[in-house]
Amino acid sequence: MWISKRAIVNLSGDIRGIIDGREVDLRDNREGVWNILKSDIHTLAGLKNEQVVALGRERDVMRDNLTNISHQLKTPLTSMMIMADLLESELTSETPDTDRQTEFLANIITGLTRMDWLVAALLKMAKLDAGAAEFSPQAVTSAELVRVAAEPLRVLLDIKNQSIEVCGDTELRCDRRWTAEALTNALKNASEYSPEGGVIRIESGANPICAWIAVTDSGEGIAKADIARLFKRFEGSRSGKGHGVGLPLALAIMRAQNGDIEVSGGGNGAGATFTLKFYK
């Protein structure tokens, strides 16, 4: 097959145009190896452009996440710096107040605890986003998951005089460690929005479609319009206490295991229910 020098020069110019970001349509429906080559180059250019757009979106998401993370870390850091200055002033005072010193120190410890949890949650979320999290499904009972998930929250529950009521026990197949992390975040959310002395109710069960664990708080419920925001990173906290990270992390863990989280808003005297579903 003979190909003219002009055709090669034109194709070379079109390829350079594609490299420079211009939209060039090389497709040719006529028969022949030359036209097949041009069509293949057009397909390759299309794939390249799609990758560039995808990378741009990922860059924008990363930039927004870094901005939000910076803001989330800056708030407790600023608070602790203020408390440290106040504590230093109190310690050097001619008439130091022991009660105020204890108060400032307690606030610093609280801030450090919240920062430690936030950094750990962000690192886990980054691991999930990067596809670097390893899941090892195994048979585990819902009662065992609740026991493991509730352990990090014992102090919080004791401070608020809250209790967990477990109804039923169901065998699940999931990654024990990661799923306990998801359940811990659901329980933490339930504790935050239950009153002092409240009861967090946990039920479990199975049907032909999925096995499930449901966590119900004893709060006032969630407005239907607010449910969608719960799983948006850095947005979903229903109070100034949260970071908007725990529930998105829980959802990411469940979806990585072919699962999901369903929310029932409650209200009219009923608390909100978060149901972790494990599809069969």
Question: What's the CATH number where 73 sits?
Answer: 1.10.287.130
Contact 216, 272 (CB under 8 A): yes
What is the Cα–Cα distance from 166 to 143, expressed in whole angstroms?
8
Dihedrals phi, psi of 217, to nearest 5 degrees? -85, 175
Written as six digits, the tokens of 227 are 């449910």
Tens digit of each residue's pLDDT (9 = 90 or more) over 219-242 = 988 888 888 788 887 765 555 555
Looking at the fold, whether 239 and 111 belong to one and the same domain comes out as: no
Q: With pLDDT > 70 as the criterion, what percentage of the chain qualifies?
A: 91
Looking at the fold, whether 108 and 79 belong to one and the same domain comes out as: yes
Looking at the fold, whether 158 and 269 belong to one and the same domain comes out as: yes
Does the pLDDT value for residue 173 go beyond 90? yes
For residue 149, the model assigns a pLDDT of: 94
pTM for this predicted structure: 0.69
- Domain span holding position 82: 1-132
Average pLDDT of the residues in 88-106? 85
Q: Are strands 210-216 and 199-206 parallel, antiparallel or unpaired?
A: antiparallel
Contact 208, 225 (CB under 8 A): no
Looking at the fold, whether 227 and 106 belong to one and the same domain comes out as: no
Task: Compute, in degrees rounded to 10, the torsion defined by CA atoms 221, 190, 159, 204.
Answer: 120
Average pLDDT of the residues in 271-278? 95
Written as six digits, the tokens of 20 are 């420079």
Instruction: State the sign of the Cα–Cα–Cα–Cα dihedral 107, 113, 116, 118.
Output: negative
Looking at the fold, whether 113 and 69 belong to one and the same domain comes out as: yes
Looking at the fold, whether 106 and 15 belong to one and the same domain comes out as: yes
Domain final residue, candidates 132, 165, 182: 132
For residue 166, the model assigns a pLDDT of: 94
CB atoms inside a 10 Å sphere around CB 91:
10
Q: How many domains does one find in the chain?
A: 2
